[in-house]
Chains A and B, each alone.
Chain A
Amino acid sequence: MAQEASSSTSSKTISLKTGDGEIFEIEASAAKQMKTVQRLIDDLGDDITIPLHNVFSKELPKIIEYYKKDITGEITKDFEAEFVKDLNDDEVKVLFLAANYLDANKLFEFLSQNIADRLESKSVEYVRKYFGVENDFTPEEESKLREERAWSFRGIKEDE
């Protein structure tokens, strides 16, 4: 088979099937960016529909959209800002977990930064709620912590 010199006309697409049974197409070059998918392709071949049990039809299109832009080198700050603009916290979390599962490094880093941005300047209690962690410090331990990080208090009631 002749090798195409130009990468922009790669016509090979891969079929991905979400955990809720929907099928999406993605360019082979985009699939390469998701190491989990690539590993499945290596094991199962690229003519088979690749099952992604932990990714669902709500988030996969968004991920595909990101990598479509990535393979054409069009990811700009503006695109990234637009990409997350209307996502609420839960939607970002879901995308983040999916990117982690798919081992899609670039998207994973970008969403890590975005979640960090959402946590910047927020109180301790806010971060607890965001991640769903319980406060397991005793009052004595908490007051020792306060001493150590007293400088980072925002001085707003909810933090104290």
Chain B
Amino acid sequence: MWSNLPFDVLSSIFSFLSPDSLARARSTCKNWHTCKIFLTQHKPHEAPWFLALPIRNHQKSCYAHNPITKIWYEISLDFIPLQSTILKPISPIGSLILLKVTNSTTLQLVLCNPFTRQFKYLPKLNVSRTNPACGIVTILEPNDVWNFPDFRIYVAGGMSGAKHSGTAYESTVEMYDSCVDTWKIVGSMPVEFSIRLTVWTPNENVCVKETRTTTLYWITSARAYSVMGFDVGNNCWRQFGVPLADKLEFATLVRWNGGLGLVGGTCGGSVCVWEMSEGDKWCLVDEMPIELGLRLLCGKRNWEGVKCVSDDDDAICLYGELGYGMVICRKVGEWDWVDGCGYIKGKKVLNCPIRGILVHPTLASSSIFLNYK
């Protein structure tokens, strides 16, 4: 009786398994391997996985941390026919990852799922440009599956090869719609904003949806830091400052409490979190415990090597190099240490600088990869 449980009963058990355990459970026999309903899982309430992409590494892999078992995995990226070190993560989209190819002279985006070894190049833009800002808006209807939402990518600014005068800062804004797999020009932006975004933006963005507006935010990394906001519905741009703008050694925008947050560290100070409220005003809402900050600094005297990522569920993760360890905060006041990746399956992993991203993995196939390759 137990060995031939109906699939809908089994899928209830499997829906609670983490991706790695589910991968193993599906490998037990043919029937279970081909059964697709085992892959429809509820969005896990637990912490997301942290994925680390090495910036300098001869191996074609990334590293993933399971927050429940606290085990690190090495995941091969050899299914993407590009050096993995030139892939820079931009954002999770559902349980997929959007990456940018860093050595391309014009913007090339790649969507992938390292857990199913699927990837897809996004089509080229109408106006090709170098180093624009990218922002993602996910569109999740009530009946949609959480792991593969529809989405729009907004690309703003960048440098284009203008025909008669060498290069110029591009002032058009283009939008990619996942429903039709194409780009279209949707608006324009003031040239000063374009310059600032092109030259000084590290590329992460935060999307904040309110009742009547959806706004994409980027932080420009020129001291003093400042934030640009783009209201996608009304094609309006604005710029505003951040606290301690010229004193912060690192500053990242994050999702916090459903809205916009800022994480930053000052010389000799700790890492703080500010929340933006009405009127583009910031207020200090949390601070990393000093002992965790010291561990994260790992003997260094400034915050410059520290990076930060967040996800749609307001988890934030601060990290340094691969082996160093990270600090994760999922709720105000709850900061936890996560050990870095030192060994995988008994073999030492070389430390290296990384770019991180938070994702809830899925083993299911997305139709977005169909008809591709």
Interface residues of A (CB under 8 A from B): 93, 97, 100, 108-109, 112-113, 115-117, 119-124, 127-128, 131-137, 141, 145, 148-155, 159
Please, which residues of chain B bring their CB within 8 A of the CB of A97?
A: 1-2
CA distance A91 to B15 in the complex (A): 21
Please, which residues of chain B bring their CB within 8 A of the CB of A155?
A: 344-346
Decide: A135 and B29 in contact? CB cutoff 8 A. yes
Decide: B23 and A152 in contact? CB cutoff 8 A. yes
For A94, the closest partner residue in chain B by CB is: B2
Please, which residues of chain B bring their CB within 8 A of the CB of A100?
A: 9
Which residue, A119, A122, A132, A151, has most C-beta atoms of chain B within 10 A?
A151
Mark the stretch among B73-81, B148-156, B178-186 that contacts chain A.
B73-81
A131-B2, A133-B28, A155-B344 known; A149 and B17 CB under 8 Å? no
CA distance A131 to B25 in the complex (A): 10
Q: How far is the CB of A134 from chain B (nearest CB, A)?
A: 6
Which residue, B1, B5, B24, B69, has most C-beta atoms of chain A within 10 A?
B24
Please, which residues of chain A bring their CB within 8 A of the CB of B256?
A: none
17 additional A-B residue pairs with CB within 8 Å, beyond A97-B1, A152-B23, A155-B344: A100-B9, A117-B16, A120-B68, A124-B27, A127-B25, A131-B2, A131-B28, A132-B2, A133-B3, A133-B32, A135-B28, A145-B27, A148-B117, A149-B23, A149-B27, A151-B115, A154-B345
Task: Give chain B interface residues in 1-52, CB to chain A under 8 Å.
Answer: 1-3, 5, 9, 12-21, 23-25, 27-30, 32-33
Decide: A119 and B21 in contact? CB cutoff 8 A. yes
Q: Rank and list the top 6 A-B pairs by shortest CB-CB distance, nearest first.
A: A155-B345, A132-B3, A116-B16, A152-B23, A152-B20, A112-B12
Decide: A124 and B24 in contact? CB cutoff 8 A. yes
Task: Give chain B interface residues in 309-358, CB to chain A under 8 Å.
Answer: 344-346
Please, which residues of chain B bring their CB within 8 A of the CB of A116?
A: 13-17, 21
Decide: B12 and A131 in contact? CB cutoff 8 A. no
Decide: A136 and B344 in contact? CB cutoff 8 A. no
A120-B18, A131-B3, A132-B2 known; A151 and B24 CB under 8 Å? no
18 chain-A/chain-B pairs, Cβ below 8 angstroms: A100-B9, A116-B13, A119-B17, A121-B21, A121-B71, A127-B28, A128-B28, A131-B2, A132-B2, A132-B3, A136-B29, A145-B33, A151-B64, A151-B75, A152-B19, A152-B24, A154-B71, A155-B344
A108-B12, A119-B21, A127-B28 known; A151 and B2 CB under 8 Å? no
Decide: A128 and B346 in contact? CB cutoff 8 A. no
Decide: B5 and A131 in contact? CB cutoff 8 A. yes
Please, which residues of chain A bring their CB within 8 A of the CB of B5?
A: 131
Decide: B30 and A136 in contact? CB cutoff 8 A. yes
For A113, the closest partner residue in chain B by CB is: B16
CA distance A122 to B290 in the complex (A): 37
Please, which residues of chain B bring their CB within 8 A of the CB of A137?
A: 29-30
CA distance A138 to B293 in the complex (A): 52
CA distance A93 to B344 in the complex (A): 34
For B117, the closest partner residue in chain A by CB is: A148
Decide: B24 and A93 in contact? CB cutoff 8 A. no
Q: How far is the CB of B15 from chain A (nearest CB, A)?
A: 7
Q: How far is the CB of B143 from chain A (nearest CB, A)?
A: 21
CA distance A141 to B68 in the complex (A): 30
For A150, the closest partner residue in chain B by CB is: B76
Please, which residues of chain A bring their CB within 8 A of the CB of B15?
A: 112, 116
Please, which residues of chain A bring their CB within 8 A of the CB of B24?
A: 122-124, 127, 149, 152, 159
Please, which residues of chain A bring their CB within 8 A of the CB of B71?
A: 121, 154
CA distance A152 to B15 in the complex (A): 17
Q: How far is the CB of B49 from chain A (nearest CB, A)?
A: 11
A134: which of B16, B29, B33, B344 is its contact (CB, 8 Å)? B29
Decide: B28 and A112 in contact? CB cutoff 8 A. no
Please, which residues of chain B bring their CB within 8 A of the CB of A122?
A: 21, 24
